[in-house]
Amino acid sequence: MKAKFVINIGRQLGSGGKAVGERLAQTFGIPVYDKRLIKMAAEQSGFCQEFFERADEKPAKGFLTTLLGYLRSPIAGDETILNNPLSHDALFKMQSDVIRQRAEQESCIFVGRCADYILRDHPHCVNIFISASREDRISRLVSLHGITAEAAEKMMDTADEKRAAYYNYYSNRTWGAAGTYHLCIDSSVLGLDGTAAFAEEFIRRKLKDIF
């Protein structure tokens, strides 16, 4: 039986990272998980989906961050976190459990949600970060959401700031930094189809033992 593998995609808003993930999913014949993880985590935990949506790719803040950072220590353990089941840390853990379960059961692609860090011990994974020029990202968001360029730029900067804070907080790594991933690609250079094709070749080479 062929070994299971995972592809984890980090992305700037408007870079087309999700679209690249969907192209790769079609190429490899495997599922891609993005916001669907929120619904899955809610169903598995029994908590309202709205709680997960509010915490989606957003870090804990202020005093709660300091307190929960202490509670997340090895001495306190996971059970202490879950004593406050609606904290961002607890919701992150629940979503992390779903990610690990899916990766154990099948080959798949995860878009965002710190999946590369959560699955850092997976024996067959490829971690990719997709970026793009500001002009291309703004243009894509304007087209997708029917908003002005100014609104798209604000949306883009706000989302990237939150994603970076979320990733850096939970992983203790640097979101978007080349050293964090196996491959970083500017989708403006090759376009979405070209980026997906380039990523496919890289994935097959990195995981040559299972392809």
| pLDDT, mean over the chain | 85
CATH number assigned to the domain comprising residue 63: 3.40.50.300
CB 109 within 8 A of CB 6: yes
- The whole-angstrom separation of Cα 58 and Cα 77 is 22
Confidence of residue 41 (pLDDT cuts 50, 70, 90): low
Number of structural domains found in the chain: 1
Domain coverage including residue 89: 6-203
- Would you say residue 128 lies in a domain? yes
Q: Report, in this order, helix, strand and coil percent for the chain, each rounded to 5.
A: 60, 10, 30
pTM: 0.82
pLDDT tens, position by position, 4-32 = 999 999 999 999 999 999 999 999 999 99
E strands in 5-107: 6-11, 32-33
Out of 65-69, 126-130, 184-188, pick the least confident. Answer: 65-69
Tokens of 38: 């929120």
Q: Which of 80, 91, 14 is nearest to 48 (CA)?
A: 91
Print burial letters for 25-41: b (CB count within 10 Å at least 16), e (below 16): beebebebbbeebbebb
Question: What confidence tier does 70 reach under pLDDT thresholds 50, 70, 90?
Answer: very low
Q: Is residue 211 one of the residues assigned to a domain?
A: no
| pLDDT, tens digit, 9 for 90 and up, residues 129-151 | 999 999 999 999 999 999 999 99
